[in-house]
């Protein structure tokens, strides 16, 4: 059974095809409106130029052909032109145009005295009617041509063939040539319609694909915004510092805890600003290690010191992980920054106490013992001038 997507494409294809076909109908109607008006004027000019007057002895009057061109030509022209202007694109307009065009061909053949060259107007008109890409317009055109050649061939052969003797079967020859041309014109119309359907379906598929893509983008964007909002809410309440960078490792977000640890604002940490919060003695190594992790698109974990604007030294344990999109691209990095200053001080105190005890056990001098003890105290309380004891 057809899926909803197939039904949507089929429905949209039909809409596109009908709109395209309607534009063709309307454009061709306007084309024939101009053509038929030009033909009418040309028929009057030709009639006036070939036989402007008819003579009865010394008396003359306007030739009947001129009046035929004016009035019969107007009847063949004005009605279909009016429909083409007032109701373009309608089926009855196309049939009226086809009929009017064939009647004008018959009039021109009559005005030329049945010259064989003028008969080519019929074949040219059929080719122009193919612009509609609607094979049904050939039906009234063919019937009118056949009927005209048959009736005039029997009752007025000089008007259509330039002969004085009736030709009751000659109309079949002309009808056969018309049918021969229409065979190819009808095939061209049908092929053109198939191509229009193919184009309509391709456009429909592209439109549906674009709509689905736009819908997917909107959904993913909404999901991303929701995810970012959840991340910000969670990070705002997190007891550890959290941050995020772009794919090149530049800072794009830090939470309040990170700013508290580093002593800088979230705005100051953007881009490469976070590097200024790293202790000068650790900055080069921390930055180089971080940039290597960014280039290699891998996780990273390290400990280093940070120096706040107030001169406080804080040890941090930083863990980062790349953010990988569905197509496998790394779009950024996310990380945590934990204040481990108390742990590092405890470790330093334990190490210092152990070192002092080792000095006492080995009988070191009192000055060495006091110096080691002072260093241990200063590491726990920076800024204290315990060295005065020495």
Q: Are strands 313-324 and 53-56 parallel, antiparallel or unpaired?
A: unpaired
- Candidates 229, 261, 219; CA nearest to 242 is 261
Q: Rounded mean pLDDT of 50-71?
A: 59
Q: Given this model, what pLDDT does residue 288 score?
A: 92
Tens of pLDDT along 85-121? 999 999 999 999 999 999 998 888 887 777 788 888 8
Q: What percent of the chain has pLDDT over 90?
A: 40
Cα 281 versus chain centre, distance: 54
Tens of pLDDT along 207-257? 988 888 888 888 888 887 887 777 677 766 677 888 899 999 999 988 888
Q: Is the pLDDT of residue 56 over 60?
A: no
Q: Given this model, what pLDDT does residue 183 score?
A: 93
Q: Given this model, what pLDDT does residue 385 score?
A: 45
Rounded to 5, what percent of the chain is helix, strand, coil?
70, 15, 20
Q: What is the mean pLDDT of the chain?
A: 83
Tens of pLDDT along 263-311? 889 899 999 988 999 999 999 999 999 999 999 999 999 999 999 988 8
CB atoms within 10 A of CB 300: 18
Using CA atoms, how far residue 208 sits from 13, 164, 202, 205, 387, in Å, is 10, 67, 10, 5, 79
Tens of pLDDT along 306-327? 999 888 889 999 999 999 888 8
Greater confidence, 60 or 233? 233
Give me the CATH code for the 239-339 domain, please: 3.30.450.20
Question: What is the rounded CA–CA span in Å between residue 274 and residue 264?
Answer: 8
- pLDDT tier at 148, thresholds 50, 70, 90: confident
The continuous run of DSSP H or E covering 40 comes out as helix 4-50
Q: Given this model, what pLDDT does residue 218 score?
A: 87
Tokens standing for residue 9: 């494409």
Q: Is the CB of residue 320 less than 8 Å from the CB of residue 242?
A: no
Lowest model confidence (mean pLDDT) among 117-121, 130-134, 135-139, 301-305: 117-121
- pLDDT tier at 387, thresholds 50, 70, 90: very low
Tens of pLDDT along 324-366? 888 889 999 999 999 988 887 777 777 666 766 666 667 666 6
Q: Given this model, what pLDDT does residue 60 score?
A: 43
Q: Given this model, what pLDDT does residue 66 score?
A: 75
Q: Given this model, what pLDDT does residue 311 score?
A: 86
Q: Given this model, what pLDDT does residue 88 score?
A: 94
Tens of pLDDT along 7-41? 888 899 999 999 999 999 999 999 999 999 999 99
- pLDDT tier at 57, thresholds 50, 70, 90: very low
Q: Which residues contact 31 (CB under 8 A, 6 or more apart)?
A: 128, 131
- Is pTM, for the whole model, over 0.75? no
Question: What is the rounded CA–CA span in Å between residue 337 and residue 241?
Answer: 5
Domain borders along the chain are 4-209, 239-339, 345-389
Q: Given this model, what pLDDT does residue 8 score?
A: 86
* Sign of the CA dihedral running 129, 132, 135, 141: negative
């Amino acid at each position: 059974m057809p899926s909803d997507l197939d039904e949507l494409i089929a429905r949209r294809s039909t809409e596109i095809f009908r709109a395209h076909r309607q534009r063709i109908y309307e454009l061709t109607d306007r084309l024939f409106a101009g053509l038929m008006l030009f033909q009418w004027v040309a028929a009057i000019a030709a009639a006036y130029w070939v036989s402007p007057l008819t003579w009865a002895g010394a008396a003359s009057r306007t030739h009947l052909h001129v009046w035929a061109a004016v009035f019969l030509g107007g009847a063949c022209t004005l009605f279909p032109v009016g429909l083409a202007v007032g109701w373009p694109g309608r089926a009855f307009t196309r049939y009226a145009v086809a009929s009017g065009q064939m009647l004008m061909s018959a009039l021109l053949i009559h005005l030329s005295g049945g010259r064989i060259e003028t008969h080519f107007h019929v074949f040219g008109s059929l080719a122009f009617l193919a612009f509609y890409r609607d094979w049904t317009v050939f039906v009234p055109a063919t019937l009118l041509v056949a009927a005209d050649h048959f009736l005039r061939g029997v009752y007025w052969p000089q008007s259509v063939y330039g002969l004085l003797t009736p030709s009751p079967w000659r109309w079949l020859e002309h009808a056969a040539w018309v049918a021969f041309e229409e065979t190819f014109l009808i095939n061209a119309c049908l092929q053109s319609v198939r191509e229009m359907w193919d184009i309509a379906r391709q456009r429909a598929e592209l439109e549906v694909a674009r709509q689905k893509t736009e819908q997917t983008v909107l959904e993913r964007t909404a999901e991303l915004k929701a995810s970012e909002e959840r991340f910000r809410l969670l990070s705002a309440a997190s007891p550890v510092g959290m941050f995020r960078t772009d794919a090149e490792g530049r800072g794009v977000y830090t939470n309040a805890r990170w700013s508290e640890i580093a002593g800088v604002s979230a705005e100051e940490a953007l881009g490469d600003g976070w590097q200024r919060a790293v202790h000068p003695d650790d900055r080069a190594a921390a930055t180089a290690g971080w940039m290597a992790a960014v280039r290699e698109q891998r996780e990273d974990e390290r400990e280093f010191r940070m120096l706040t604007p107030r001169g406080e030294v804080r040890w941090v344990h930083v863990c980062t992980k790349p953010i990988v999109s569905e197509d496998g691209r790394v779009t950024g990095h996310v990380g945590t920054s934990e204040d481990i200053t108390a742990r590092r001080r405890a470790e330093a105190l334990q190490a210092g106490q152990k070192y002092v005890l080792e000095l006492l056990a080995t009988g070191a001098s009192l000055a060495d013992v006091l110096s080691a003890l002072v260093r241990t105290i200063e590491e726990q309380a920076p800024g204290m001038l315990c060295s005065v004891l020495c």
